[in-house]
């Protein structure tokens, strides 16, 4: 006889909220924050560049910030944050900014 167990619910992470502090000295500070109903976020991949889509800047990191990122004044930068959970679900957050 096969007994059925409780179903396993799995939720994808919410897209990360991205915050950019655009310093006037050619540097930016970047923070991101995501939540997951399962509390099983395992990593983030940060894509950042003047190209769209942006290239990988940080891969499979557990950090939620990166400071003193060098940028070129008046250039448009594109950011994509990928949030990954333990079951491989990935969500993306996208934004762009013009460096001071």
β 41-49/27-33 pair status: unpaired
Q: Is the pLDDT of residue 6 over 80?
A: no
pLDDT digit string, tens, across residues 42-98: 999 999 999 999 999 999 999 999 999 999 999 999 999 999 999 999 999 999 999
Q: Is the pLDDT of residue 2 over 70?
A: no
Determine, yes or no, domain membership for 5: no
Distance CA 39, CA 54 (A): 28
Determine, yes or no, domain membership for 68: yes
Determine, yes or no, domain membership for 9: no
Q: Is the pLDDT of residue 8 over 80?
A: no
In the chain, the number of structural domains is: 1
What is the extent of the structural domain holding 70?
Answer: 17-98
State percent of the chain over pLDDT 70: 93
Determine, yes or no, domain membership for 66: yes
Q: Does the global pTM surpass 0.85?
A: yes
β 41-49/76-85 pair status: antiparallel
Which two three-digit tokens encode residue 40? 């099983």
Determine, yes or no, domain membership for 4: no
- Between 13 and 25, the higher pLDDT residue: 13
Determine, yes or no, domain membership for 92: yes
Domain of 70, CATH number, reads: 2.60.40.10
């Amino acid at each position: 006889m096969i007994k059925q167990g409780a179903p396993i619910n799995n939720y994808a992470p919410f897209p990360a909220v991205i915050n950019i502090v655009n310093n006037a000295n050619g540097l930016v500070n970047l923070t991101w924050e995501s939540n997951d109903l399962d509390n099983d976020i395992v990593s983030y991949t940060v894509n950042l560049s003047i190209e769209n889509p942006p290239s990988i800047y940080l891969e499979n990191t557990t950090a939620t910030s990166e400071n003193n990122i060098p940028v070129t004044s008046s250039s448009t930068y594109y950011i994509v944050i990928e949030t990954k959970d333990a079951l491989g679900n990935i969500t993306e957050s996208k934004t762009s900014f013009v460096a001071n």
